């Protein structure tokens, strides 16, 4: 897939540690940049002379006359998120792929549905797009949002959400929960819910916000552990799996990627009809090493979402930091996303 050059026309700070980028889409690209709420952009950045691709969900609403927007939250030591928050300027140009992603809501004008949305931290971006789209374009449907953050200062889109609740009191319910509310703030002490969106919180939320329209959908976006935790609780309560949609922003860094016992590995690669052999140093992804060796591996998102970089393991083992693009059956067959894979055996053989 191809990148298009889009100009940054505004940069805003919804909270101190996040930046909203507004793009100008030239009229000839309008159609190409149509999107469904929940989808994301893959953006190419040049940071310190190095190319890096990252995915960012669109927080703008496709049913509104508004420009494309993504919001990037600062991640500690993160390459791109710090660049966006500290160095990106209005007028800069970025290389952007057209919107994509399977995590999106189908919005039908005459649907009568209840949407349950769960977001934590920067996970609000695709969720607010879905939320606004339902309110605007599916006038008989309702939304219940459960939104978790660390403290009062990290709630992205707080004011915008408050305005929406005022404008749609009968169709929109929002419950905030803070895992670590600040005691001293400009607003008075936190009277809302405390804690993370864990199993008990999900059950509480569902029980206290029963759906009116009985056709329901569940959309979840937050850190990996939260996503799977919410899905598990919903399924235990009886929600069918096919109604639960999850977007994962990246590796479940806290646990999984740290648990991978990566090693230096000699990797044999069959790619574009050629066979290569190269060393992948401990901790580097297979894709990174292939790129550095100028072997032209296929890839696009570099975040475990698009499956462009998929390969099959013939011998040896590799583990993925994150995987949002493969089904369990694919993984069982030995498929890996090379952009997320760290070899865990001294020798590894893969085929693209």
Partner 1 sequence: MDTKRKMPVLPVEAYTSQEWFDKEQEIIFGNAWQFAGLVEDIKDPGDYITVQCGLQNIVVVKGRDQRIRAFHNLCRHRGTQLLRAVGKKQKALTCPYHDWTYDLSGQLISVPEKEKEFPDLEIDKICLHKASVDIWRGMLWVHPKPNAEAITKWFDGCWERLGPHDPNRLIEYPDSVYEKVINANWKIIAENYIDVYHLSHLHSNTLQMYDHANAEYGFVGDHYLFWEPLSKDYHENLDKLLPFKRIKEMTEEYIGAYVPWLFPNVGLSETEATWSVFHAIPLAPDKTKVIVRTKMEEMTDWEYYKKGIKSYASWHGIMGGDTKYGNEDSDDPMASGDFMAEDVYACEQQQKSLKNPLFSIAATAKHGESTVRTFQGIVERWMSNSIKEG
Ligand X SMILES: Cc1cc2nc3c(=O)[nH]c(=O)nc-3n(C[C@H](O)[C@H](O)[C@H](O)COP(=O)(O)OP(=O)(O)OC[C@H]3O[C@@H](n4cnc5c(N)ncnc54)[C@H](O)[C@@H]3O)c2cc1C
**Smallest distance, partner 1 to C-beta of residue 214, A:** 5
Residue 57 in contact with ligand X, rule: CB under 6 A: yes
The CB-of-283 to partner 1 minimum distance in angstroms stands at 42
Nearer to partner 1, 186 or 207 (CB): 207
Rule CB under 6 A: say whether 164 interacts with ligand FES.
no
The residue ranges of DSSP E strands in 74-226, in sequence order, are 93-97, 113-120, 142-149, 172-178, 193-194, 215-222
Our CB check for ligand X shows the closer of 133 and 141 to be 133
Stretch binding partner 1 (CB under 8 A), from 14-22, 63-71, 192-200, 212-220: 212-220
Nearest distance from C-beta of residue 310 to ligand FES, angstroms: 7
- Identify what 252 binds: ligand X, partner 1, ligand FES, none; CB under 5 to 8 Å per kind: none
203 Cβ contact list (under 8 Å, min separation 6): 233, 237
Alpha-carbon distance values, 304 to 90, 122, 299 (Å): 29, 18, 10
Site for partner 1, residues 91 to 120, rule: CB under 8 A:
110-112
The residue range among 3-11, 75-83, 189-197, 258-266 that interacts with ligand X, by the rule CB under 6 A, is 75-83
Using the rule CB under 6 A, give the single segment among 78-86, 165-173, 177-185, 332-340 that binds ligand X. 78-86
Of the two residues 155 and 197, which places its CB atom closer to partner 1 in the complex? 197
Is residue 21 close enough to count as binding ligand FES by CB under 6 A?
Answer: no
Q: Are strands 244-248 and 215-222 parallel, antiparallel or unpaired?
A: parallel
Between 134 and 350, name the residue whose CB sits nearer to ligand FES. 350
User: Could you say whether residue 60 binds ligand FES (CB under 6 A)?
Assistant: no
**Residue 77 CB: number of other CB atoms within 10 A?**
7
| Residues binding ligand X: number (CB under 6 A) | 27
Is residue 314 within a helix (H) or strand (E), and if so which, with residue range?
strand 310-315
Q: In this structure, are residues 137 and 241 in contact, taking their beta carbons and an 8 Å threshold?
A: no
DSSP H helical segments within the chain, as ranges? 79-86, 124-137, 158-167, 199-208, 224-237, 258-259, 286-292, 328-332
What is the C-alpha to C-alpha distance for residues 268 and 300, in angstroms, rounded to an integer? 22
38 touching ligand X, by CB under 6 A:
no
Backbone angles phi, psi at 30, to 5 degrees: -45, -55
Residue with smaller CB distance to partner 1, 8 or 212: 212
Which of these, 140, 346, 151, lies nearest to 261 by C-alpha position?
Answer: 346
217 binding ligand FES? (CB under 6 A) = no
How many residues bind partner 1 (CB under 8 A)? The answer is 20
Residues that bind ligand FES (CB under 6 A): 299-302, 304-309, 325, 337, 339
């Amino acid at each position: 897939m191809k990148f298009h050059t889009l100009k940054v026309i505004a940069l805003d700070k919804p909270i101190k540690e996040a930046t909203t980028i507004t793009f100008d889409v030239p009229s000839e690209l309008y159609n190409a940049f149509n999107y469904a709420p929940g989808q994301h952009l893959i953006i190419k950045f040049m940071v310190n002379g190095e190319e890096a691709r990252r995915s960012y969900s669109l927080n703008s609403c496709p049913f509104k006359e508004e420009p494309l927007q993504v919001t990037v939250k600062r991640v500690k030591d993160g390459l791109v998120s710090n660049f966006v928050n500290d160095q990106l300027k209005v007028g800069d140009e970025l290389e952007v792929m057209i919107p994509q992603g399977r995590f999106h809501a189908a919005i039908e004008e005459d649907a009568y549905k209840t949407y349950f949305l769960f977001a934590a931290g920067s996970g609000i971006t695709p969720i607010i797009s879905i939320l606004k789209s339902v309110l605007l374009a599916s006038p008989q449907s309702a939304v219940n949002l459960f939104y978790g953050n660390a403290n009062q200062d990290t709630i992205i889109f707080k004011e915008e959400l408050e305005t929406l609740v005022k404008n749609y009191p009968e169709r929109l319910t929002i419950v905030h929960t803070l895992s670590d509310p600040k005691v001293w703030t400009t607003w008075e002490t936190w009277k809302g819910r405390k804690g993370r969106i864990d199993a008990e919180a999900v059950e509480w939320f569902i029980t206290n916000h029963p759906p009116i329209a009985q056709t329901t959908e569940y959309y979840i976006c937050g850190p990996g552990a939260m996503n799977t935790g919410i899905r598990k609780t919903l399924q235990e309560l009886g929600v069918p799996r096919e109604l639960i949609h999850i977007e994962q922003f990246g590796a479940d860094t806290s646990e999984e990627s740290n648990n991978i016992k990566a090693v230096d590995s000699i990797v044999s690669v069959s790619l574009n009809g050629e066979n290569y052999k190269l060393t992948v140093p401990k901790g580097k992804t297979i894709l990174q090493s292939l790129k550095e060796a100028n072997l032209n591996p296929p890839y696009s998102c570099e975040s475990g979402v698009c499956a462009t970089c998929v390969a099959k393991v013939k011998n040896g083992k590799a583990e993925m930091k994150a995987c949002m693009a493969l089904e369990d059956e694919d993984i069982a067959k030995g498929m890996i996303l090379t952009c997320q894979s760290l070899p865990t055996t001294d020798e590894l053989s893969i085929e693209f």
